[in-house]
Structure 1
Amino acid sequence: MALLRHLRLCLCFCLPLLLPPPAVPAPAPAPAPRTDWAACRSLSRELSRLVATLKEPHRVLEETHLSEEDPKNWPPRIRCSDACDPSTLDTNNTRCLQRILQGLQHYRDLLGSDIFVARRLPRLEAALDQLLGLVQQEHGRPPRHPMAPSEAWAHPLLQRLALQRLQSFTAIMSRVFTHSASPH
């Protein structure tokens, strides 16, 4: 009888050691940083204003409308399929913000390329960097694509084309941020 009692005591103490430990609830994941829509709205407006105030250094190009031969070398454009329309933005803005991030990164890379080596635009670069930083908080950094070197004679034309495209891009991007920053 003493042996049976001793065996029970041993099982009572040893059995918990043989069983897996009780499940400890995992800590709740830290919430992902949220997009600061009001700051994005403000910065996108500033970016639009800066692009609009740039003066063309080559007056002959002021009346020139340029289009590229190879559209795959130019930035992602915000399209209807990017879900940047107001009804979709209210429910899921991920795809739209990823497209905006791709475009911002492209223009930032472009402004840092050889095309703008003789015409640096530090205020524009700084505004792009700030806006990139805000959008990247939630969506990470998109892959960078180095710009292929270009001929020096083409730089003024490529600058003009890049800045025209940036102006169009910032106009649409500003609408997205303005809608998302307004209370619904």
Structure 2
Amino acid sequence: MSSSLLLVLCVVLSALSGARGAPVLSAGEVNYTKCKALSVKLNEMARDLYHKVESKKMAIIIDEPPVSIRPIDTCDPWSLQSNNETCQSRIILALKNYTRIFHKDGVFNNLACSNWREQANEIANVTGHLLRVLREPVEAAPLDSVDWQASALCRDSVERLYSFSIISARVFSFLASPVAPTVEMKQC
């Protein structure tokens, strides 16, 4: 079985296992069930775009390091059970970054990436919606890139989004689960 098919199966199974019902939310709480649905949708869109965007054989210099989820961000199940703020704040930072990259004025506005502009804008809409569910402002500041870097940035951005979307879907699936896992989890 291919790894992407296995991933889809895992995401679907976790979505179905969490569909038992969610507790009623108070006014200030984040709706993690909605975050889960949006993050799974984001993952599907990122996977689709990942298979479409061409890979250029060139090296580029990126001034700003990309936003990614790191081990110190405590997005593992043990940490999420006790305190999800660190992980959630890092996910929010990454979502803001991806909203900016995939927005209509982002990297895909460039001619080299124009074939995928419509899908990129749809991804920006989903990341923006996810930010609003997380009660965060959506900023649509233009992203500048040099023309010769644009085609490589398209592929790089899609690869990073795809990886991020897998992690965020797992985190929100865990947070949306009405009961904590009862199976003993062992660290690798």
- Could you tell me the TM-score, scaled by structure 1's length? 0.68
Aligned partner of 1:116 in structure 2 is 108
Quick one: which of 41, 48, 60 aligns to 1:46? 41
Aligned partner of 1:127 in structure 2 is 126
CA contact (8 A) 2:42 2:165 kept: yes
Residue identity in the other structure for 2:130: L
| 1:69-111 deviation line (CA, Å, top 9, x unaligned) | 44x6143211111111111111111111110000000010111
CA contact (8 A) 1:84 1:176 kept: yes
CA contact (8 A) 1:102 1:142 kept: no
CA contact (8 A) 1:116 1:159 kept: yes
Question: 2:174 aligned with 1:179, yes or no?
Answer: yes
Q: 1:82 to 1:42 in 2, by over 3 A?
A: same
Distance, in Å, in 2 between the alignment partners of 1:91 and 1:43 is 24
- Over the residues paired in the alignment, what is the CA RMSD in angstroms? 2.5
CA contact (8 A) 1:40 1:177 kept: yes
Structure 1 residue 41 displacement after superposition: 0.7
Distance, in Å, in 2 between the alignment partners of 1:67 and 1:178 is 36
| 1:51-73 deviation line (CA, Å, top 9, x unaligned) | 11124354xx28x6x77644x61
Gaps of 5+ in 2: 1-25, 181-188
CA contact (8 A) 2:80 2:175 kept: yes
Gaps of 5+ in 1: 1-30
Aligned partner of 1:56 in structure 2 is 52
| 1:136-166 deviation line (CA, Å, top 9, x unaligned) | x2xx44888753x222232221111001000
Aligned partner of 2:149 in structure 1 is 154
Distance, in Å, in 2 between the alignment partners of 1:124 and 1:154 is 21
| 1:124-143 deviation line (CA, Å, top 9, x unaligned) | 122111111111x2xx4488
Distance, in Å, in 2 between the alignment partners of 1:68 and 1:99 is 25
- Could you tell me the TM-score, scaled by structure 2's length? 0.67
Q: 1:68 to 1:79 in 2, by over 3 A?
A: farther
Aligned partner of 1:9 in structure 2 is none
Distance, in Å, in 2 between the alignment partners of 1:122 and 1:141 is 18
* Residue correspondence of structure 1 range 76-91 to structure 2 within 5 A: 76-91=67-82
Residue identity in the other structure for 1:160: R
Structure whose alpha-carbon radius of gyration is higher: 1
